[in-house]
Each structure stands twice: as structure tokens, then as C-alpha cells.
Amino acid sequence: MLIGIDIIDIDRIRKSVERTPRFLHRVFTPQEIDYCMKKTNPYPSLAVRFAAKEAVRKLDPVFSSGIKYHEVEIVIKQDGRPELCLYGKAEEKGRQAGINGLAVSLSHANEQAVAAVVASKG
């Protein structure tokens, strides 16, 4: 079993978006942006998605380089649970490394957001 985890200050994401608006489109998919921007305060939701993308990079060395942020996406399922989707190089590298059964857990409080990604290998 593999585990990747990341924690981030929500204010760091807010400042990045305000300072460099293209950051939003460079890091998040259109679906993620649409979902988060419907919230009164989008920054906790954006931060937790950023943490999930970083947690994937920490999951296994195969993900540590050569993948783009857009190749990792958090989708909210009908029942409200988050689902982690991999695309492009991220999906290809994961398949080649024998990584399967990805699961994600997301949480945020007033100041920080955390994401954990768990996968099996083999």
C-alpha cells in the first residue's frame, strides 16, 4: 500500500490566485475551477485540491516529475464523495508502475487544507 499526504495553508493559495490569476488555470481543471468558484469562499476548496495534487506526487517516485497539475483532478461524485482521476502522463505512469485502486480523503479547517491519497501497487 502506498500513501501520499500534503497539507497547505489556504491563504497561500488565495495569495497565489490574487497575485497571479493565470495560476488558477495552470493548476486546476475547468471543472475544478467551476466547482470551487460557486462557493462563497472558494479558497479552502481550491487549497484542498492543490493538496491532493501534491499528495499524488508524494505517493510514489513515478509521480514526482513529468506530470502536469491538470493530469490530476478531483471530481465530486453524485453521493458527494471526492474521486481522484488521473489523465495523460499521470495515468500512463501509474499504470506502468502497477498503481491501482486510488482513494482520496480531503479536509480543511479555517487556515489549512489536507489531502491523503492511498493506492495499492501490483
pLDDT digits over 32-52, tens only? Answer: 999 999 999 999 999 999 999
Q: How far is residue 87 from each of residues 19, 20, 72, measured CA to CA in Å? A: 28, 25, 6
User: What mean pLDDT, rounded, does the chain reach?
Assistant: 96
The whole-number pLDDT of residue 100 equals: 86
pTM value is: 0.96
Place of cell 462563497: 40
Residue 88's domain is classified under what CATH number? 3.90.470.20
The whole-number pLDDT of residue 122 equals: 75
Output b/e per residue, 87-110; b: 16+ Cβ within 10 A. eeebeebbeebebeebebbbebee
Please enumerate in sequence order all residues whose Cβ is within 8 A of that of 64, keeping only pairs 6 or more positions apart, or say none: 57, 58
Q: How far is residue 102 from each of residues 6, 99, 111, measured CA to CA in Å? A: 16, 8, 27
Q: Would the pLDDT of 21 be above 90?
A: no
Tally of structural domains, the chain: 1
The whole-number pLDDT of residue 121 equals: 87
Range of the domain at 74: 2-121
